Amino acid sequence: MAITLYEIVAAGDARISNNCWRTRMALAHKGLAYETRACRHVDIARICDSRRKGLPVIEDGACVIEDSWRIAEHLECAYAHGASLFDGEAGRAFALFVHVWLRPAVHLPAVQMLAGDLHDRLLPEDRAYFRSRQEARFGRTLEEMQADREGRIDAWRELLEPLRACVLDRPFLGGERPLYVDYVVFGTFQWARMISPFRLLADGDPLAAWFERCLDLFAGTGRAVDAFY
Amino acid sequence: MAITLYEIVAAGDARISNNCWRTRMALAHKGLAYETRACRHVDIARICDSRRKGLPVIEDGACVIEDSWRIAEHLECAYAHGASLFDGEAGRAFALFVHVWLRPAVHLPAVQMLAGDLHDRLLPEDRAYFRSRQEARFGRTLEEMQADREGRIDAWRELLEPLRACVLDRPFLGGERPLYVDYVVFGTFQWARMISPFRLLADGDPLAAWFERCLDLFAGTGRAVDAFY
């Protein structure tokens, strides 16, 4: 039985969620067949067993699993015969570290730089909630958050230095082959290219070349979607 | 022939350098005999082949290697028969990531919180240079940097969340066994306990228990030195 992936939907049926892209890539890495179900924010509490608060959620036979990290651990354990997502215990720890580090240090500052563009890509009924939540959190309008992004992008790129170090002499973050840690980071850059023409990575950045390699994975599953670049 | 480790010396012949502790632990992990040579900052340019700018430096037969990360890579390669420092390619990447991440994100903010205490532990002839360099960098006196540390420690501890996640259900950062990534982080906490009574980790923090486990490694080599706690 195919796995079902519930993922957030944006305008035009676009699947822009960074966390859902992590799971998409993990499923492809394991070579697993899956179907996706588009889900609006307001519908999350109604899916599966009605106990879910966020997406992605996967339904895998009798198992319902929420949260991109827990899904990755489930896939690694339940489909141990497939290519490993972690490459051992230390590689699992690397992925977990980056999973915890990325959101506050990298992803949320990126949300601020792309806030207005992101708003415009959401389903019309999700926009007011997104605006009020973000503006309350940061004390500025979405348009103000985005306005001075050219002045903030260099400092943001500097935060990526630990990731950059890993791909200076290796094709992927964990070495010669892509691993779940790549997909954790890929999610943010895939989300960015689907919602905004603003480039988070400079031409010539080793991470830009790494991202292109990720877009090529699994017959170009990441590259195939509508995006700004 | 034993390896020679050149390391920075503080007052009372104390070997407080976080980077040098990384190398000490890596040498112990590999089960390698080594001798240490205490070195003052002003003497670094005179050791070995007179081309060195920072410590640690190791002399291993005909090889002279500078920089804690390059030393770890050398040891892993030259002593491949010993216990691995990295546990595979993904584990190597984890250690490299943490090596690059730790200094700006974690260690330098800790230097600011311990600046006055650190000053007082340096060799008398190193104090004026340390003071002028740090005060120029941060625009405050060492005493000012340290003064409001109680108000900053909670935010600093929050930065450790990715590390904490790794030891919630594992004894060491990379899993069941200690690896070089542990020593990268250990260096900062060992340095801290040798220079200041101010506790960087709260009682009950899973990282405090992890640090105690690191102090026990290799017959308590880290625990054996003079320290405040």
pLDDT tens series, chain A, 229 aa: 699 999 999 999 999 999 999 999 999 999 999 999 999 988 888 888 888 889 999 999 999 999 999 999 999 999 999 899 999 999 999 999 999 999 999 999 999 999 999 999 999 998 998 999 999 998 999 999 999 999 999 999 999 999 999 999 999 999 999 999 999 999 999 999 999 999 999 999 999 999 999 999 999 999 999 999 9
A87 touches chain B (CB under 8 A): yes
pLDDT of residue A3: 97
Of A99, A100, A173, the CB nearest to B93: A173
Subunit contact B101:A101, Cβ cutoff 8 A: yes
How far is A95 from chain B, CA to nearest CA, in Å?
8
B93 touches chain A (CB under 8 A): yes
How far is A211 from chain B, CA to nearest CA, in Å?
17
Of B101, B163, B174, the CB nearest to A90: B174
Distance CA B194, CA B14 (A): 8
Q: Which residues are CB-neighbours of B34 under 8 A, at least 6 positions away?
A: B2, B3, B4, B5, B27, B58
Subunit contact A92:B175, Cβ cutoff 8 A: yes
Distance CA B183, CA B181 (A): 5
Q: Quick one: tokens of B53?
A: 């700018």
Give the pLDDT band (50/70/90) at residue B60.
very high
CA-based radius of gyration for chain A: 17
- Half-sphere exposure of residue B196, counting CA atoms within 13 Å on the CB side? 20
C-alpha dihedral (B193, B199, B200, B205), degrees to nearest 10:
110
pTM over 0.95: yes
pLDDT of residue B156: 98
Give the DSSP letter of residue A104: I
B86 neighbourhood in chain A, CB within 8 Å = 90
B173 touches chain A (CB under 8 A): yes
pLDDT digits (tens, 9 = 90+) for A173-214: 999 999 999 999 999 999 999 999 999 999 999 999 999 999
Subunit contact A89:B181, Cβ cutoff 8 A: no
pLDDT digits (tens, 9 = 90+) for B24-53: 999 999 999 999 999 998 888 888 888 888
Q: Which of B90, B179, B92 has the alpha carbon at shortest distance from A76?
A: B90
- Rounded to two decimals, the ipTM of the complex is 0.96
pLDDT at B76 over 90: yes
Distance CA A53, CA B56 (A): 49
pLDDT of residue A51: 86
Q: Quick one: tokens of A132?
A: 């009020």
User: Nearest chain A Cα to B101, which residue?
Assistant: A162
B86 touches chain A (CB under 8 A): yes
Q: Which domains are present in chain B?
A: 3-78 (3.40.30.10), 89-218 (1.20.1050.10)
Where residue B220 falls (left for φ over 0; alpha for ψ -120 to 50; beta otherwise) is left
Q: Quick one: tokens of B145?
A: 């940097």
Q: Give how far Cα B55 sits from Cα of A95, A152, B19, B132, Å.
A: 31, 34, 8, 20
A92 touches chain B (CB under 8 A): yes
Helices (H), chain B: 18-29, 68-78, 89-102, 108-113, 115-121, 124-138, 142-147, 149-159, 161-167, 180-195, 206-220
pLDDT digits (tens, 9 = 90+) for B132-159: 999 999 899 999 999 999 999 999 999 9
B161 neighbourhood in chain A, CB within 8 Å = 100-101, 104
Other C-beta atoms lying within 10 Å of the C-beta of residue A197: 11
Distance CA A88, CA A206 (A): 25
Give the DSSP letter of residue A217: H
